[in-house]
A and B are shown apart, each in its own frame.
Chain A
Amino acid sequence: MSGPKIIFFILAAAILVFSVMSIFSRRILRAAIYLLFVLVSMAGLYYMMNFQFLAAVQLILYAGGIVVLIIFSILLTSQINSTLDPPRKSHLLLGAVTSVLGLILGATTILKYSFQASASAPIGTDMRTIGRHLLGTGAEGYALPFEVITVLLLAALVGSILIARKPKV
């Protein structure tokens, strides 16, 4: 077994274990931290596949952004002693059945599909290519203008906060 393979298995195990722990943790902040570990391990996988940009974006957006946001909202709303209520038996059963069904569905689909190595040369994922695509106007271009439109969403968010905010007493 070669070095990269070992690392792959370590990362894969980490992803699986932490995602399970994240689901089953009663304490909400712990769940968020397990989620962070999952996301960081995913970034590790991306690095291994040489998708360095993707890995960095994964870290910035998910680990540095979303998880921080989640932690922030937990900090603002909950107390240290509060834990989530244990799920009801019926919910537990229903969840188990659904997830087993999902597993069967996913597994059969993957197993039935015969994966074939792509014959075309791998697309370079260095910064230059990504940059050209982002700012380009040709095929696969116009990514940046599309992203800029999302500012509209931000404006809507800010506006809704402004409207919904309690007036200053």
Chain B
Amino acid sequence: MYDFAPFIDSYTSYLNAHFSPFWAGLISMVSLGVALLLFYAVLGLYLVYAERKVCAQMQNRMGPNRVGPMGLFQTIADLIKLLLKELIYIRNADSFLFNIAPFIVIVASIMAIGSIPFARGLQAVDLNIGVLYILAISSMGVIGVLIAGWASNSKYSVIGAMRSGAQVISYELSVGLALLCAITFAGSMQLSEIIASQQDGWWIFKGHIPAFVAFVIYLIAGTAETNRGPFDLAEAESELTAGFHTEYSGIKFAFFFLAEYMNMFVIAALATTLFLGGWLPFHLYNFTAFNTVMDYIPPVFWFFGKTAFVIYVMMWFKWTFPRLRIDQLLALEWKYLLPISLLNLLLISFLTLMQWHF
């Protein structure tokens, strides 16, 4: 039920039947690219909308409610505004790097989205190193931030970029180790196999307390890696005005903005896939009636529901916590998260070796 594989197979076989292999390949690539980009843009816009609504809820406000029903078109209107805005050129800035930085950031986040399984059979590429691939790609984003800060020829930006670099490089370790925990359980890096291994229960439930610890560490480190509050030191607006994107305007600023939200989505989607069973429905042990009803809900809803939950938690962090200081941030990673996650990984390896998980 609800398998996308036959649909995609029939599409490719249709292309193969009607076009030469070259054109079939090209059309399938282009259609995939267009679909991903559209998805990316729409999702990014609505994540911004969601953040504004969540933030408003936390702050006893209404949030956007004028443009469209419940303000649904507000971010689209904002995007149009940003598109039409004048791009400011900065004297003495390295214009090539200045212009390319937002693209590096946004390309990194688009590429990461490609290998996330949204539902059964709905995945652009199912690499056998899926998790590693996403880690590798998302580690590229920081380069964009670094050169954006440097090329702006602004002191605030440089400080923001340096902070961001130190932060992302440090927290990548914890993200990686927390993901390794799930990989150790599943015995594979392929995202589809990881999901398949959770058929009889999500890892967060099957993996005892260590899995939960890994999940929490992943959430904290993931939030830090996306430069979001309370870890938004790179753009700490009370200290550095806007950090690395102080000098950006118009669509280039929008790129940074979109990429931030899409990175958050990638982090949440990865958490969903590795710990919360991806697009698998929620099942109660041997409670067949309940399980059948759950099965009727399409996997896409399950996936996006879980991801939305994780994203909500991350927004909740942002709107209730004060920001950390840079030394506290690094101390948190190197003194607490990293040792805990190393120990946790050891524990999980032991659990897996002994087959003690459910």
State the main secondary structure of chain A at its contact with B. helix
The answer to whether B136 touches A1 (Cβ under 8 A) is: no
Decide yes or no whether B332 CB sits under 8 A from chain A.
no
Min CB–CB distance B243 → chain A (angstroms)? 14
Question: In chain B between 259 and 284, which residues have their CB closer than 8 angstroms to a CB of chain A?
Answer: none
Decide yes or no whether A27 CB sits under 8 A from chain B.
yes
The answer to whether B100 touches A33 (Cβ under 8 A) is: yes
Decide yes or no whether A63 CB sits under 8 A from chain B.
yes
Which of A3, A67, A71 lies in contact with B25, CB distance below 8 A? A3
Decide yes or no whether B12 CB sits under 8 A from chain A.
no
The answer to whether B150 touches A80 (Cβ under 8 A) is: yes
Please, which residue of chain A has its CB at the minimum distance from the CB of B21?
A: A2
The answer to whether B147 touches A60 (Cβ under 8 A) is: no
Which of A3, A75, A81 lies in contact with B161, CB distance below 8 A? A75
> Do A59 and B94 form a contact, CB below 8 Å, given A52-B127, A75-B162?
no
Residues of A within 8 A of B132 (CB): 53, 56-57, 60
In the bound complex, CA of A1 to CA of B132 (Å)? 32
In the bound complex, CA of A6 to CA of B128 (Å)? 24
Contact flags B151-176 to A (C-beta < 8 A → 1, else 0): 10100001001100100010010000
Residues of A within 8 A of B72 (CB): none
In the bound complex, CA of A80 to CA of B135 (Å)? 30
Q: How many residues on the A side are at the interface (Cβ–Cβ under 8 A)?
A: 30
Please, which residue of chain B has its CB at the minimum distance from the CB of A1?
A: B22
Contact flags A92-107 to B (C-beta < 8 A → 1, else 0): 0000000000000000
State the main secondary structure of chain B at its contact with A. helix
Question: In chain B between 98 and 143, which residues have their CB closer than 8 angstroms to a CB of chain A?
Answer: 100, 127-129, 132-133, 135-137, 139-140, 142-143
Please, which residue of chain B has its CB at the minimum distance from the CB of A71?
A: B146
In the bound complex, CA of A67 to CA of B165 (Å)? 12
Residues of B within 8 A of A56 (CB): 129, 132-133, 135-136
Please, which residue of chain A has its CB at the minimum distance from the CB of B187?
A: A128
The answer to whether A80 touches B94 (Cβ under 8 A) is: yes
Given contacts A53-B129, A59-B136, A72-B165, 5 further A-B contacts (CB under 8 A): A57-B132, A74-B150, A75-B149, A127-B128, A127-B190
B residues near A, CB below 8 A?
A: 21-22, 25-26, 29, 92-94, 96-97, 100, 127-129, 132-133, 135-137, 139-140, 142-143, 146-147, 149-151, 153, 158, 161-162, 165, 169, 172, 188-190
In the assembled complex, 5 residue pairs joining A and B whose CB atoms fall closer than 8 Å, in A order, are A3-B22, A3-B25, A71-B146, A71-B150, A76-B162
